[in-house]
Amino acid sequence: MILTVTLNAALDITYRLPRLRPHGTNRVTEVSERPGGKGLNVARVLASLGHRTVATGFAGGGTGEALRALLADTGVTDALVPVGGASRRTVAVVDEATGDTTQLNEPGPTVSPAEWDAFLGTYRELLDGARAVALCGSLPPGVPVDVYARLTRAARTAGVPVLLDTSGEPLRRGLAARPDLAKPNADELAALTGSTEPLRAARDARRRGAHAVAASLGPDGMLAVTADGVWQAAPPQRIAGNPTGAGDSAVAGLLSGLVEDLPWPERLSRAVALSAATVRAPAAGEFDVATYEELLTRVVVTDHPSAA
């Protein structure tokens, strides 16, 4: 099975409206709710791809109950650890006139030392049957900032490959624990390294400890810097829609490719096709199957011209 970790799980709420009018009254035409947070989005896509997936992290309060009820219908095994505080909500407001999305993210519940210890026990038990683990997203209050470094070291001790997808100080510290793959986006790489040139920044991130770095470049696809080479993958055309969760689908593509031992170009093709297909889907953690199948054979993967 594949294990995903979402320490700051959320109930994702998507509002769709004809046009967003700031400072005015907006009438919502469609509302959807999904279990969310980066790792849960990854888990749902992996389950849709046919991989047995277990999701752990924290969930609490009425929001946590709602997201767990929704998770039960996704094919993902729920191993979330209860907390006393209420899980956060994230609200995406989709302006259908422009295609733009405005995102509102709550901070999440404060995790107590006892709740943290309970999670660590669950995590170590789950590693025993895992083929790979994804450590994803932001940290709720009360969780130590070096948490992803600790979880990476525990997974490596258990012989389980690690994909790290976070930002800021948790990313910097997590890289030092030598994850098998880090998946930042271009902005996160720039904040980490000070470089806005993706290849240079990805190489810098790899020198900081990651065995490989796959950088999301938004609508321009993905750049991978690995021990075996450097590749760039791009969709055949730009896809219009809601980009929320597109990076999480890319993580699912990379992680499934890792456990299936696919060559890097095939991993990138899958990741970019899934990411683009998610832009066409109504909510994060989903992808448009027809778009995915169409793009999978059309994603352009090239050896990076600056790889030498």
Task: Say which residues have a Cβ less than 8 Å from residue 19's Cβ, sequence separation at least 6.
Answer: 95, 96, 97, 98
Give the model confidence (pLDDT) of 212-234 as tens digits. Answer: 999 998 888 899 999 989 999 98
Q: 165: helix, coil or strand?
A: strand
Residue in 146, 248, 261, 303 annotated catalytic: 248
Which pLDDT value is given to residue 308?
42
Q: Which residue has the tokens 């790979």?
A: 132
Q: How far is CA 6 from the centre of its chain?
A: 9
CB 165 within 8 A of CB 182: yes
Give the model confidence (pLDDT) of 19-75 as tens digits. Answer: 988 888 889 998 888 898 999 999 999 999 999 999 999 999 999 999 999 999 899
pTM: 0.90
CB 11 within 8 A of CB 63: yes
Q: Which residue has the tokens 């990805």?
A: 202
Residue by residue, DSSP assigns 221-254 as: -EEEE-SS-EEEEE-SS---S--TTHHHHHHHHH
Q: Which residue has the tokens 């600790």?
A: 150
Dist CA 290 CA 308 (whole Å): 37
**For the chain, which ranges sit under pLDDT 70?**
240-242, 282-285, 305-308
Dist CA 288 CA 206 (whole Å): 32
Calculate the dihedral angle through the C-alpha atoms of 46, 47, 51, 54, rounding to the nearest 10 degrees. 90
Which pLDDT value is given to residue 294?
78
Dist CA 13 CA 2 (whole Å): 26
> 189-217: b or e for each residue (b if 16 or more CB lie within 10 Å)?
beebbeeeebbebbbbbbebbbebbbbbb
**Strand 2-6 with 88-95, pairing:** unpaired
CB 27 within 8 A of CB 17: yes
CB atoms within 10 A of CB 61: 15
Which pLDDT value is given to residue 285?
64
Active-site residue flag, 303: no
- CA nearest 255: which of 6, 45, 22? 45
Which pLDDT value is given to residue 284?
63
Which pLDDT value is given to residue 47?
94
Average pLDDT over the chain reads 90
